[in-house]
């Protein structure tokens, strides 16, 4: 068996430095794109925010379009993995949908800029092919959860899973949009309190069958 070559301390340091630079640029890109919008953002804006050279952004990520695609790929991966875990867990369909909504709201609390970017550039903006694919994947996963509930007799047999999935996803998406765009009347409440209240409202809707008479 051939021994694998050992990496030197210098190689390890360079690798960590490269990873740190990429992460810093990624986070800065999310913040700048969320604040200025895709069309008003320049590579120089991202580089300045990240505190790196202009050319380094191009070196790691290429064009502005590619940066957005990288961000969307990361979002899609995280959401798909979480929804797959929720689908595999024990519990009723209503409980699983509640967990999906919780995750979407928690994502807003964890990274408001990311949700702001998604709302502005994908949901209510021109979007991208990848953004449309991500939304379709999420709705497809939710639809399969609902379909299983119909097949198991938990939900009404006349329900159309895709219609209910669109209704559910659209409702949560609109609530997130209202938070990002300032439509929601916060009445002086802090973000955590608002999100907690919205989570409770969505679960009440699920429990009382308001999404297509679940």
Please report, for the domain that includes residue 114, its CATH number. 1.10.357.10
Tokens of 44: 């120089």
Distance CA 100, CA 94 (A): 10
83 close to 141: Cβ distance less than 8 angstroms: yes
Per-residue exposure over 172-210, b if at least 16 CB sit within 10 Å of its own CB, e if not: bbebbbebbeeeeeeeeeeeeebbeebbeebbebbeeee
pTM of the predicted structure, to 2 decimals: 0.85
47 close to 56: Cβ distance less than 8 angstroms: yes
How many distinct structural domains can be found in the chain? 2
For residue 175, pLDDT over 80 is answered with: yes
Smallest Cα–Cα separation from 151: which of 141, 140, 159? Answer: 159
Distance CA 32, CA 9 (A): 34
pLDDT of 191 reads: 86
Render pLDDT for 67-115 as a digit per residue (tens, 0 to 9): 999 999 999 999 999 999 999 999 999 999 999 999 999 999 999 999 9
**Which of 42, 62, 82 is the last residue before a domain boundary?**
62
Q: Are residues 49 and 89 in the same domain?
A: no
Please name the helix (run of DSSP H) or strand (run of DSSP E) that holds residue 170, with its range, or none: helix 161-181
Smallest Cα–Cα separation from 166: which of 147, 138, 194? Answer: 138
> Is 214 inside any structural domain?
no
Q: Are residues 54 and 106 in the same domain?
A: no
pLDDT of 125 reads: 64
Domain that holds residue 1: 1-62
Q: Return the residue matching tokens 């200025």.
A: 36
Q: Are residues 111 and 150 in the same domain?
A: yes
Determine the number of helices (DSSP H) and then strands (DSSP E) in the chain: 9, 0
pLDDT interval class at 211 (50, 70, 90): low
Lowest mean pLDDT among 15-19, 35-39, 154-158, 159-163: 15-19
> Is 201 inside any structural domain?
yes
Residues 6+ apart with CB under 8 A from 61: 25, 29, 67, 70
Q: Are residues 53 and 72 in the same domain?
A: no
> Is 212 inside any structural domain?
no
184 close to 194: Cβ distance less than 8 angstroms: yes
Q: Are residues 56 and 69 in the same domain?
A: no
């Amino acid at each position: 068996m051939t021994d694998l070559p050992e990496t030197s301390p210098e190689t390890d340091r360079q690798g960590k430095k490269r990873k740190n630079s990429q992460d810093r640029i990624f986070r800065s890109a999310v913040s700048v794109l969320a604040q200025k919008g895709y069309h008003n953002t320049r590579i120089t804006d991202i580089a300045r925010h990240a505190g790196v050279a202009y050319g380094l952004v191009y070196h790691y990520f290429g064009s502005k379009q590619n940066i957005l695609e990288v961000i969307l790929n990361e979002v899609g991966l995280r959401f798909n993995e979480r929804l797959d875990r929720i689908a595999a867990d024990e519990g009723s369909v209503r409980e699983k949908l509640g967990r999906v909504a919780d995750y979407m709201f928690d994502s807003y609390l964890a990274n408001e800029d990311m949700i702001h970017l998604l709302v502005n550039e994908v949901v209510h903006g021109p979007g991208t092919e990848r953004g449309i694919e991500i939304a379709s994947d999420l709705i497809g996963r939710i639809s399969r959860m609902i379909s299983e509930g119909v097949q198991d007799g938990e939900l009404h047999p006349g329900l159309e899973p895709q219609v209910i999935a669109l209704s559910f996803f659209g409702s949560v998406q609109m609530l997130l949009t209202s938070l990002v765009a300032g439509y929601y009347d916060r009445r002086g409440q802090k973000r955590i309190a608002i999100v907690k209240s919205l989570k409770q409202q969505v679960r009440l809707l699920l429990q009382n069958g308001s999404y297509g008479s679940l």
